[in-house]
A and B are shown apart, each in its own frame.
Chain A
């Protein structure tokens, strides 16, 4: 079993790396690169509670959740790539003495914390505050990987630091994250409670040597009664028992099974109150009024977007111009790490819908390039509007021709027009072209801002005003 499990873990880790690597402009050829994000039941259940439906690709997560009451937390033990990485870290960091390892793998009461985290996350999601992606192991790993491959990414150091701390915590307790924190593990654990069978111990044969705990991955106490919600179905305990006192049984007597989660009533009420307070605090932040909250094209209206965005960073990883970056304050506290556009860093490529193609939860909806650019309907997807800052603009303020903004404007007819004006400069008549934005045509792509020669604060800048995803978002009277 050990060897078989390791093959599975290695296979899925390599598969995750391959899927991540394929999420690029050249690599994405219809491959399901977000298959791991789709296989997280936490993402499926979370978005079900917040958005009241589930992106169709997430059936994989629901299938895994449905299999868990029969097979236990096989996802944690055999599939999860983050679990595999932490498993490797635990192996490298573990103590040499068997007695020490047995002590580290005894069940700890704080393993119940993950159920409280899960409860608070789902409670918040039910009230329209989706934060499961902050704790979802696949989103965490995807986000960290994206930060690692894009060195300039803002807040990337934060994500890498969090991951490094989680990695080191494996020295204190093997698979610390999986046992104590992971809400996906908690969700699968709750489902695994319903298992009809599990690992049972023959008390007559058992000598209480404790060897069953030496390599126990989930710290599920096979030395007493195996906790079904904690068991990773690795069966190391069965293999390690010198007396053959442990075995898997499909229909044991009920008293042989430990179905409890170990959450005390006090902790549960505490979490309810704390969770409710957090929800009220975060939801009371205004949704409107963030000019720099420029969302990727195809993003749903802000409340719907926040109901779905998992903060996985997949869109930021694939964006060819690097315009997408994680929000810090642009979208409120609830929108931390959600994607926003920074036109100084990049711009939204006209013939590109890659971010919509990889969004696992539908926060950025799928669409064709024709729909995005509005070539057929005449109504393009608008992420914002370019505003001209005449006081910094070369022709408007300094009497010099420029019109770079018009030149690069990708829409046809261009969304930046010019008005010719004859002006006298040093006794010489010069024809000056003055730029002006056509708000109906401007898609807010930000190429004008990106290319503007006024370098520290461009003379033309995009803000989210007029974005088409907000119903009635135009600031013009029609």
Chain B
């Protein structure tokens, strides 16, 4: 090889090397270049309706001192648990377990009602898991509210929230189109039963069925209070439950949603079981002394077609005395 740099072959070789390096640079650049520096978010997932077709628009109110008996009486009136839960179903139960409080403070759903719902589903042959994403430390909330014990002794399982369970899901049409929520449990279940309790609330007036779905959310949910009534109506669109069991065995009438003193609690001796969230929440609001027009989210939810405020418009509405 002639070492003369002006030699033709040498010229071609050197130009070739330089061109190769330039082409490599261009290839890497074109392969990795990205005009949009904000990464595209994952698309929000859709949560299906858990409602059993043909069971829309029902509510049974059962009055009696034994809340578990009242739940059974109401279910019987609705046609039995078998109408809603079948053998082999995966049932997710969502009580209100938001705070680290003993049950008698009324800030959480009573163990008696939650336990009875779990027991009924197990008896129907379903697998039951109970979930909530509380405000306080999850394990502490489940243990001190007595719900851990009630669920486990009824044969169910408590599913404590962890970061891996959350994903972005579609919620509602008014304020929050999508939000971080407990997606994995919602995707696992084919039936969902809400077991809220009856509480006063500092901002939304009452905390009942639809407000209780807040406990399925994660993310910066403390921002939702800036338009809480619209958000509660969005939550009503987010979850279409198989069944709702509103625990009115005792009512948190003051200092809600946390309570904190036995004097904030009054006996209620009633449960409302059904499929119409709006009717059940209207009933609950009345228990706390609120006319439906005082609670803005009821009207919003009714306008969205989530249910009816007037119980006369229900397909099935009954009141029973549950005395054993």
Interface residues in chain A, defined as those with a beta carbon under 8 Å from any beta carbon in chain B:
25-26, 320-321, 349-352, 373, 375, 394, 400-404, 406-414, 418, 433, 447, 451-453, 455
Kindly state whether residue B114 has any CB partner on chain A within 8 Å.
Answer: no
| Complex: chain B residue closest to A395, CB-CB | B226
CB-defined interface of B193-222 with A at 8 Å, one 1/0 digit per residue?
000000001110000000000000000101
Q: Are B258 and A410 in contact (CB under 8 A)?
A: yes
Residues of B within 8 A of A433 (CB): 203
Q: Are A349 and B140 in contact (CB under 8 A)?
A: yes
Alpha-carbon distance A455/B223, docked complex (angstroms)? 10
Knowing that A402-B225, A413-B254, A418-B202 are A-B contacts, what are 20 other residue pairs whose CB atoms are under 8 Å apart, sorted by A's residue number? A25-B137, A25-B140, A25-B143, A26-B143, A320-B137, A321-B136, A350-B260, A352-B100, A375-B261, A403-B202, A403-B203, A407-B257, A409-B258, A412-B258, A412-B260, A412-B261, A412-B263, A414-B255, A447-B135, A453-B223
Alpha-carbon distance A349/B139, docked complex (angstroms)? 12
Alpha-carbon distance A352/B99, docked complex (angstroms)? 12
Interface residues in chain B, defined as those with a beta carbon under 8 Å from any beta carbon in chain A:
99-102, 135-137, 139-140, 143-144, 201-203, 220, 222-223, 225-228, 254-255, 257-261, 263-264
Q: Are B202 and A349 in contact (CB under 8 A)?
A: no
* Nearest 6 interchain pairs by C-beta: A412-B260, A412-B261, A453-B222, A320-B137, A412-B255, A453-B223
Nearest chain A CB to B15 CB, angstrom units: 55
Q: Are B203 and A352 in contact (CB under 8 A)?
A: no
Residues of B within 8 A of A350 (CB): 100-101, 136, 260
* Given A401-B226, A407-B202, A451-B222; A351-B100 close (CB under 8 Å): yes
Nearest chain A CB to B39 CB, angstrom units: 21
Residues of B within 8 A of A447 (CB): 135-136
* 6 A-B pairs in the complex with CB atoms less than 8 angstroms apart: A321-B137, A349-B140, A351-B100, A352-B140, A401-B227, A408-B135
Alpha-carbon distance A265/B139, docked complex (angstroms)? 58
Q: Are B140 and A412 in contact (CB under 8 A)?
A: no
| Complex: chain A residue closest to B101, CB-CB | A351
Majority-rule SS of B interface residues = loop
Nearest chain A CB to B211 CB, angstrom units: 11
| Complex: chain B residue closest to A354, CB-CB | B140
Q: Are B135 and A412 in contact (CB under 8 A)?
A: no
Alpha-carbon distance A453/B203, docked complex (angstroms)? 15
Which residue among B99, B143, B223, B260 has the maximum number of chain A CB atoms within 10 Å of its CB? Answer: B260
Residues of B within 8 A of A414 (CB): 202, 255, 258
* Given A349-B136, A452-B222; A411-B260 close (CB under 8 Å): yes
* Given A351-B101, A402-B226, A453-B223; A412-B259 close (CB under 8 Å): yes
Nearest chain A CB to B256 CB, angstrom units: 9
Residues of A within 8 A of B139 (CB): 25-26, 320
Q: Are A412 and B222 in contact (CB under 8 A)?
A: no
| Complex: chain B residue closest to A346, CB-CB | B137
Nearest chain A CB to B92 CB, angstrom units: 23
| Complex: chain A residue closest to B102, CB-CB | A351
Alpha-carbon distance A453/B221, docked complex (angstroms)? 8
Q: Are A401 and B203 in contact (CB under 8 A)?
A: yes
Residues of A within 8 A of B255 (CB): 412-414
Residues of B within 8 A of A408 (CB): 135, 258
Nearest chain B CB to A151 CB, angstrom units: 14
Residues of A within 8 A of B202 (CB): 403, 406-407, 414, 418
Residues of B within 8 A of A402 (CB): 225-226
Q: Are B226 and A400 in contact (CB under 8 A)?
A: yes
Q: Are B144 and A351 in contact (CB under 8 A)?
A: yes
Alpha-carbon distance A421/B25, docked complex (angstroms)? 64
Q: Are B101 and A349 in contact (CB under 8 A)?
A: no
Residues of B within 8 A of A401 (CB): 203, 225-228
Q: Are A320 and B225 in contact (CB under 8 A)?
A: no
Alpha-carbon distance A176/B26, docked complex (angstroms)? 60
Alpha-carbon distance A408/B201, docked complex (angstroms)? 10
Alpha-carbon distance A455/B220, docked complex (angstroms)? 9
Q: Are A407 and B101 in contact (CB under 8 A)?
A: no
Nearest chain B CB to A306 CB, angstrom units: 29
Residues of A within 8 A of B227 (CB): 401
Residues of A within 8 A of B222 (CB): 404, 451-453
Nearest chain A CB to B147 CB, angstrom units: 14
Residues of B within 8 A of A418 (CB): 202
Which residue among B102, B201, B225, B257 has the maximum number of chain A CB atoms within 10 Å of its CB? Answer: B225
Nearest chain A CB to B109 CB, angstrom units: 17
Residues of A within 8 A of B263 (CB): 412
Which residue among A350, A400, A401, A451 has the maximum number of chain B CB atoms within 10 Å of its CB? Answer: A350
Residues of A within 8 A of B223 (CB): 453
Nearest chain B CB to A126 CB, angstrom units: 41
